[in-house]
Structure 1
């Protein structure tokens, strides 16, 4: 059985998903791939993991750095998990490029190179937003692109984390990078 709960953030509603013990999803309510790891019959129920996650979110949206992580269960392929594990290591207020993640995965697997596009696909399908900080992944040229919750939210999250916004730019819709 799977469960859901709701959180009202300063950036809009967030839906939380759980298998009863671990957090399996955290999505902005209007984001791309919303609830992609949830069964259609998920029940609304308050759980300990939801309480912990909401406390984490309160601290985060209060402008502080949470000193704990709720119990997570990444329901994904081995490759996506390797990308998401790297995202978990990106410090608050810092960023990493898709290419840097690809290079790190290639090195860890003894490969000459890895596709940044494959990494981008894994990043975009992150089902535990914010806690697995996909908003901290940027294009090689500093472009703020590829956030399933919307570029406006990505900008606001990076500003909340006091990231150096001078090194980023937002591509215009329809422009090639």
Structure 2
């Protein structure tokens, strides 16, 4: 694999760590750090600069889709699940069962949940849009508070409102 680079984005709900190569984004996580540590420098690949810009536009309510290339590594089933997530419209949610159906195995609800939890590229691959079949928010590695914020943010932007941060 190519050399890894990291940059931080100071989002309204915490520092986002973006890791990637010249070819694409490898991970995007919420950090538990209070302040960004990694800034753009002369060696930062363009793909990371693009990811920063697209994240900034997302949080400002100016972007609903990401175009930055992602390099996800996982099993074939995980890849199928992750590929299905961007099909969930911005500001909407789907259940684990909906994704299980989308990947062709309605009985794989738990496996979908497991694959969703292994997604290393949050927000861009929108695992935050997956909820329980009862309509309740369920696990999110970045915290349920952040998941709720992301969903409310997207719904507000979709409805032409602003979300106070």
Give the structure-1-normalised TM-score: 0.77
1:55 and 2:57 equivalent?
no
Residue 97 of structure 1: how far off its partner (Å) = 0.4
Contact 1:105 1:114 in 2 (8 A): no
1:128 and 2:126 equivalent?
no
Residue 67 of structure 1: how far off its partner (Å) = 5.1
| Distance verdict in 2 for CA 1:68–1:135, change over 3 Å | closer
SS in 2 for 1:25: strand
| Distance verdict in 2 for CA 1:67–1:116, change over 3 Å | closer
Residue 69 of structure 1: how far off its partner (Å) = 1.2
1:84 and 2:77 equivalent?
no
Residue 66 of structure 1: how far off its partner (Å) = 4.1
Structure 1 unaligned spans of 5+: 31-43, 164-177
Counterpart of 2:31? 29
Contact 2:66 2:124 in 1 (8 A): no
CA distance in 2, matches of 1:121, 1:68: 24
Structure 2 unaligned spans of 5+: 33-40, 157-165
CA distance in 2, matches of 1:99, 1:8: 34
Counterpart of 1:7? 9
CA distance in 1, matches of 2:76, 2:9: 29
Counterpart of 2:162? none
Counterpart of 2:155? 162
CA distance in 2, matches of 1:143, 1:67: 24
- Give 4+ residue runs of structure 1 displaced > 2 Å after superposition: 64-68
Listed one character per residue, the Cα deviations across residues 107-163 of structure 1 (whole Å, up to 9, x for unaligned) are: xxxx5x332111001101110000000010000000101111000000100110116
Residue 20 of structure 1: how far off its partner (Å) = 2.5
What value does the CA root-mean-square deviation take over the aligned residues? 1.8
CA distance in 2, matches of 1:104, 1:149: 24
1:143 and 2:141 equivalent?
no
| Distance verdict in 2 for CA 1:155–1:68, change over 3 Å | closer
Q: How many equivalent residue pairs?
A: 146
